[in-house]
Amino acid sequence: MAGSRVTQRHLGRKSSHRQALLRNLVASLFQHESITTTWPKAKEAQRMADKLITLGKRNTEAARIKAQQAFYEPGRFMPKLFGELRERYLSRPGGYTRVLRIEPEKEDQAPSAILQLVDGPRDMRFMMTAKTIAREQAEGLDRTDITKRNIKKVTTFRPEGSASLDAAVQEIKARTVDVKRRNSGIYKERVYERRKDSK
């Protein structure tokens, strides 16, 4: 048909198998908050996850019935969808998930990706932003426009976003100091051992 578009990736599977695959991927995403898969699978699972979170935010009987049909084990995932995730994304207008391209992980070099829930404990952009801020502060650098934009992205809808980011920065700084101290101690021990051996 002229003008028609394929709106879904078939993923090389028949409809029932494709749906089962996506249901399993979304269940893993809700359980672990971050999963690694191929790029096409991540993009399709992202669509399903975003729709389910929208249902969770509606929190109506019809939404619950529809969401329940998406899980093989609704008892495991419905409480999180209509509880923790609903609260997390209540003020966010959309964009509940993020897909990040990574180096191919399989021998066939299929494009790989990480699919994750944003504003959660495993939000990579949040942690990368915190690491960048910690490095800029340690080196006395001015904050770049990219860092400023990322700060806005990771704090705008996260509960206590600025405070959470500041806490993450301080934790990274503390870990960096600990690593430097340990490495310094190892270096001193090695120098001492070499001096003993040379006597």
Token match 């270096």: residue? 187
- Average pLDDT (5-19) is 68
Pairwise pLDDT comparison (196 vs 44), residue with the higher score: 44
pLDDT given at position 6: 46
Name the residue range of residue 177's domain. Answer: 127-198
- Average pLDDT (62-78) is 95
Is residue 10 assigned to a domain?
no
Looking at the fold, whether 116 and 141 belong to one and the same domain comes out as no
pLDDT given at position 12: 59
Residue type, 104: P
Query: What burial class does residue 94 get, using C-beta atoms within 10 Å of its C-beta: 0-12 exposed, 13-18 middle, 19+ buried?
Result: exposed
Phi, psi at 114, each rounded to 5°: -105, 130
pLDDT given at position 147: 96
Average pLDDT, the chain: 87
Q: How confident is the model at residue 67 (pLDDT cuts 50, 70, 90)?
A: very high
pLDDT given at position 13: 63
Pairwise pLDDT comparison (188 vs 164), residue with the higher score: 164
- Is the pLDDT score of 7 beyond 90? no
pLDDT given at position 104: 82
Looking at the fold, whether 102 and 31 belong to one and the same domain comes out as yes
pLDDT given at position 176: 84
- Is the pLDDT score of 2 beyond 50? no
- Is the pLDDT score of 1 beyond 50? no
Looking at the fold, whether 161 and 140 belong to one and the same domain comes out as yes
What's the number of domains the chain is made of? 2
Looking at the fold, whether 102 and 156 belong to one and the same domain comes out as no
- Average pLDDT (100-123) is 86
Question: In whole angstroms, what is the distance from residue 185 CA to residue 13 CA?
Answer: 56
Looking at the fold, whether 50 and 96 belong to one and the same domain comes out as yes
pLDDT given at position 190: 63
Is residue 164 assigned to a domain?
yes
Copy the structure tokens of residue 8: 């879904």
